[in-house]
Amino acid sequence: MVCLGNICRSPTAHSVLEKFIADRGLSQQIKVDSAGTGDWHIGKPPDPRSREAALKRGYDLSAQRARQVDVDDFQRFHYILAMDNNNLRDLGQRCPADFKHNLQLFLEFGSAEYDSVPDPYYSGPEGFELVLDLVEEANRNLLAHIIKQHGLNADQ
């Protein structure tokens, strides 16, 4: 999960997917991480507004710390999902040619009217709620895709 600073959208998507994975008994088989294309928030926790909105829905972002995408990520992860087109472009410029097939927009797994997860940083609480709505839907579809694509057995 990749956004610009790794303090709003990507840590939210990360935590939501981790919870969905745990609920299905797949935590030993699927690993999730998040990062930013920028470096200015490295080591910082997610935005307090993201943490608060997520916690109201049962997602805990408190253990996460922002980090920047590094070159090893492209080889380490099967899915590198950008929250918007700008981050997808930035990832594409950094990604070795052999791994470009792992890059895509996160909301390709959504069915909403959005193609990108809007950055809520300069919005009010409704922006953080929208992020949660979008990532919950996309993560349900993403997890179903991963289970089917990789032949995993889920508990539920």
The residue extents of the domains of the chain are 2-150
CATH code reported for the domain at 2-150: 3.40.50.2300
> Could you tell me the pTM of the whole model?
0.96
Query: In 10 A of CB 45, how many CB atoms?
Result: 16
Which residues, including other chains, have CB under 8 Å from residue 41's CB and lie 6 or more apart?
5, 6, 7, 66
Q: For residue 64, what pLDDT is reported?
A: 97
Please give the pLDDT value at position 44.
98
pLDDT score for 156: 58
| 9 counts as catalytic | yes
Catalytic-role residue among 47, 73, 90, 119: 119
pLDDT value at residue 110: 96
Q: Which whole-number Å values give the CA distances from 88 to 1, 26, 28, 83, 91, in the listed order?
A: 11, 27, 28, 8, 5
Q: Given 3, 24, 73, 90, which residue is catalytic?
A: 3
The span from the first CA to the last CA of the chain, in angstroms, equals: 24
| Contact present, 140 and 20 (Cβ < 8 Å) | yes
Q: Low-confidence residues of the chain, pLDDT below 50?
A: none
3 is catalytic: yes
Q: Name the active-site residue from 9, 24, 49, 51.
A: 9
